[in-house]
Structure 1
Amino acid sequence: MLRFRPPSFEEKASEDTIIDADTGSTVIFDCKVTALRDKTVSWIRVSEDENLELLTVDLDTHTSDFRYRVDLAGENWKLALADAKVQDSGVYCCHVSTHPPMLRRYQLTVHPPSIKMSKEAFLETGETLSLKCAILHLHPGDVVPEMHWYRGNNTTSLDEIRGGVLIETDQLTLTSHLQVARLKVEDAGNYTCSLESPVQMKATTRVHVLQG
C-alpha cells in the first residue's frame, strides 16, 4: 500500500530561532516545509499580550502593513520584513495547517540605533587630537548618512572654522574619524559627533589641552 509522507519542517528545532536585526534592515524568516501537499503555510505574529496577528496565508498577504512580503523558493516559505523597527521585535510563527498544527517559532530582536564615541582625552599643545565615532545597529537604506563634528556650542562643522582638521567618514560602516593637528589651549572643550540623517543622534566627549 502506498503511504504518503506527512508534511514536516526540513530542519528540526526544539527552541525558538533567534534573529537579531538592525533598525532599518530587511529581516528574512526562512521556513522550509517538505511534503506540504494540500496544506497551507501561514505566518503569524504574536504580540506582547499574546494576541495573534495573521500576516500571510500561502502567498497572500493578510496585513495592511506593506513592509511584509512572502515568497516561495522551492520548499522555503520566506517572510520578508522591510525597514525593521524596534517595535517589530517579538515572536513570529510559521504555521502549517496539519492536525494538530505544525509550528515553528522565531524570536526577533530589532536593536535601536546607538552612537559610540572615543573617551575623554588629555593632550598637550602641538599634539594631534584623534577621535572616532561609530553609529551602531542602523541600516540607512537608500538615505545617504550625514555626519558632522562640532566643538562647544558651535553649530558650524569643525572643518569649516579651523585649519588642520581632517574628517574621514565611511558611509557604509557609519564610522567617522576626526583629527585636529597642532593643538592649542583654546582647542580644549566638548567635541560632538552628530548624525544628521537618516535619524538624528549625537555623542559628546571632553578634550583637555595642557600647555606643553
Structure 2
Amino acid sequence: MLGPGTWEPWFLLLVATLSIVIANQHHQFDNHSVHLHERTTTRKPRNESYFQDEPSLKLPPIRIPHLRHHHVTHWGPYFENVKNEDVSTGGVRHVAVHLGTTAMLDCRVAMLSDKTVMWMRRNGERVSLLTVAKNTYSSDLRYSLYFQYPNNWRLAISSVRREDHGLYVCQVNTHPPRMLTTNVTILAPEIRILDEAGHEVKDRYYKTGSGVELACIVRSSWRTIGNLVPTWLKNGAKIPDHVKIYHVNGSAEKLITRIYIESAAKSDSGEYTCSFDQHSTSLVHLHVLNGEKQAAVHHDQWNSGRTERPNRKTITVFLAILLSDLLAVIQK
C-alpha cells in the first residue's frame, strides 16, 4: 500500500502510458485509411480495355408515363341531372301538372358555395321574380320555396290554374348566370256538352214542348276522376227541380252526366254549364222557341247534325225548308 506522497509519481506514469497507447491507435488507423484510399483509386476494372475500345452505346430515351390527372368539369355551381336529363347544357325541362294540384319544380344545385338561387317566371318579354334563396317575393301566395336536403331548391305552386302554364327559370347568380328552365304544362280534364245525336254544341234551339237531352262528358288522365261528379248549373244557379239529372257509370278516365227536360218551355231557355271540380267548365246556350221562329230551329238542327261540309243536295233541302216557312208566314 502506498504511503502518503508516493501515489503522485505512479499516477503520472499511468497517464503517460495511456497517452502513448491512444496515439499509436490513431496512427495505425490513419495509415490504414491512406492505404485503402490508394488501392481504391489506383485499381482498374478487370475489363477496362473492353470498355475503352467499344463505341459509346446509344440507349433509348427513358419514357416517363403520363400522369392521368382528374379533370374537374365543374369549377362552380352546376345543375344536377334528374332522371337522365341533361340539364347542364341550357336545355328546357318539361313538367306536366294536373289542374288543381300542387306543382313541385325541382332545381338541384351542386357546389353552390356562397352563391344564391332564385326562381323567376318568364311570360314572353316579361320576367317576374318569385323567390330569392328561401324567401318569397311574389304577391301570389300560391308560390313558395321548399328546400329539400341536401341541394334541391323546389318551387311549389299550390292549386295550379290554367294560366300557370309557361316557363319557370331557376337561376344561380354566377358570372355569367347559370339558368335551368322548366316548361310547365297544365293537364286539365277535357269536358264537352253533346246533344241527342252525340254532337258537341254551344247553342241549341228547340220547339216548345220538345224533349231536351244534353250529356256532359268528362275525360282525364287523372286517376282520381272517379271520385268526383260533374255539376250542372243554369245561369249560375241550381238546376230547376223539373230538370232531371242522370249520372251514367263511366270509367276511371271518363264520366258522363245527363240532363233531361220532358217538355221544354220558354222558361227553360238560358245558359247551362257543366263543371268538373271547379277547374273545367263547358257551357251551352239553350233556346226554346215558339212556332213563328221555326227557321231558327231547322237551322240549328241542320248545324248540329252535320259535322262535314254540306253538299248541294243538303243545301237545296235546307233552302226549300226556309222557303216553305217564309210562305207560311206570308199567308198568315
TM-score grouping bracket, smaller chain normalisation: 0.5 to 0.7
- Deviation at residue 43 of structure 1 after TM alignment: 0.3
Q: Normalized per residue, which structure has more strand?
A: 1
- Taking a change above 3 Å as real, the CA distance of residues 148 and 46 of structure 1, as seen in their structure-2 partners, is closer
Asked which structure has the greater RCO (Cα within 8 Å, sep 6+), the reply is 1
- Deviation at residue 65 of structure 1 after TM alignment: 0.7
- Taking a change above 3 Å as real, the CA distance of residues 17 and 196 of structure 1, as seen in their structure-2 partners, is closer
Question: Counterpart of 1:62 in structure 2: which amino acid?
Answer: Y
- Taking a change above 3 Å as real, the CA distance of residues 25 and 169 of structure 1, as seen in their structure-2 partners, is farther
* Alignment-derived partner of residue 104 in structure 1: 180
Tell me which of 77, 84, 98 is aligned to 2:160.
Answer: 84
Q: Normalized per residue, which structure has more helix?
A: 2
SS at match of 1:70: strand
- Taking a change above 3 Å as real, the CA distance of residues 157 and 134 of structure 1, as seen in their structure-2 partners, is farther
- Taking a change above 3 Å as real, the CA distance of residues 136 and 168 of structure 1, as seen in their structure-2 partners, is same
* Alignment-derived partner of residue 115 in structure 1: 191
- Taking a change above 3 Å as real, the CA distance of residues 39 and 51 of structure 1, as seen in their structure-2 partners, is same
Q: Residue 54 in 1 paired to residue 129 in 2?
A: yes
Matches for 1:183-198 after TM superposition, within 5 Å? 194-195=274-275, 198=278
**Do 1:23 and 1:137's aligned partners in 2 also have CA atoms closer than 8 Å?**
no
Give me the TM-score of the superposition, normalised by structure 1. Answer: 0.62
Matches for 1:13-52 after TM superposition, within 5 Å? 13=87, 14=89, 15-48=91-124, 50-52=125-127
Question: Counterpart of 1:99 in structure 2: which amino acid?
Answer: H
Greater Rg by CA: 2
SS at match of 2:107: strand
- Deviation at residue 66 of structure 1 after TM alignment: 0.3
2-structure distance, mates of 1:83, 1:54: 19
SS at match of 1:87: helix
Q: How well do the aligned residues superpose, as a CA RMSD in angstroms?
A: 4.3
- Deviation at residue 115 of structure 1 after TM alignment: 0.6
2-structure distance, mates of 1:177, 1:112: 18
